[in-house]
Structure 1
Amino acid sequence: MPYKDREVEKLYYSIGEVAKMFDVNTSLIRFWEKEFDIIQPKKNKKGNRLFTKVDVDHLRIIYHLVKERGYTLQGAKEKLKDNKEDVSDNVEVITKLENIKSFLVELKGSL
């Protein structure tokens, strides 16, 4: 039986990795951390921020509201306070649809 490399999911992401995921500056991630209470990264002894998968998911929701939907910071805060589950479900559906679209475009290109 051949050895299979398993993909290891990271427990913590650095601020640079998170900024690269969303194609934004690290300063914006730090600013959102101050503005939104739901982002709570761990900090190591040096003070470096270590973001968990939950923090990345929260940032994805904030990114969707502010950058993609055009909400103000105050509007995004109120939307998250009112119905965070509904917003997170919408973001999850949009992400899945984008993955399906990219797969179909790739499939069309290979025909």
Structure 2
Amino acid sequence: MPYKEQKVERLFYSIGEVAEMFNVNTSLIRFWEKEFDIIKPHKNKKGNRLFTPKDVENFHLIFHLVKEKGMTLKGAQKKLKENHDDTVNNFEVVSKLKDIRELLVEIRDNID
């Protein structure tokens, strides 16, 4: 039986790691933390923010609404408060469609 490396999931991400994931400044991460109540990072004894995978998912959602769809912060806050579940479902559908498109483009490029 071949050795299969297990995928290790992170429990926490630093603010720098989260900022790097989205290619934004750490100040934007701190600002969105204050503006959106769905982001609640843990803080260690030194006061460093530690974001959970759920926080990162919420950042993906906010990033999608604000940066990709062009919504204002107030609009994104309202949308998340009024119909959070629908917004999450729509985001997941868009993400899956983007993944499928990338796969199809890769297949097309390999055919040539």
* Correspondences of 1:17-96 after superposition (within 5 Å): 17-96=17-96
Q: Look up the SS of the partner of 1:50 in the other structure.
A: strand
Q: Look up the SS of the partner of 1:4 in the other structure.
A: coil
What code does the residue aligned with 1:76 have?
Answer: A
Distance 1:94 1:28 in 2: 24
Runs of 4+ in structure 1 off by over 3 angstroms are none
Gaps of 5+ in 1: none
Give me the TM-score of the superposition, normalised by structure 1: 0.95
What code does the residue aligned with 1:87 have?
Answer: T
What code does the residue aligned with 1:29 have?
Answer: I
Determine what percentage of the aligned residue pairs are the same residue.
Answer: 63
Q: Look up the SS of the partner of 1:3 in the other structure.
A: coil
Q: Look up the SS of the partner of 2:50 in the other structure.
A: strand
Distance 1:33 1:84 in 2: 17
Deviations 1:36-86 (A, max 9, x none): 111000111111111111111111111111111111111111111100111
Aligned length: 111
Give me the TM-score of the superposition, normalised by structure 2: 0.94
Distance 1:41 1:72 in 2: 23
Q: Look up the SS of the partner of 2:2 in the other structure.
A: coil
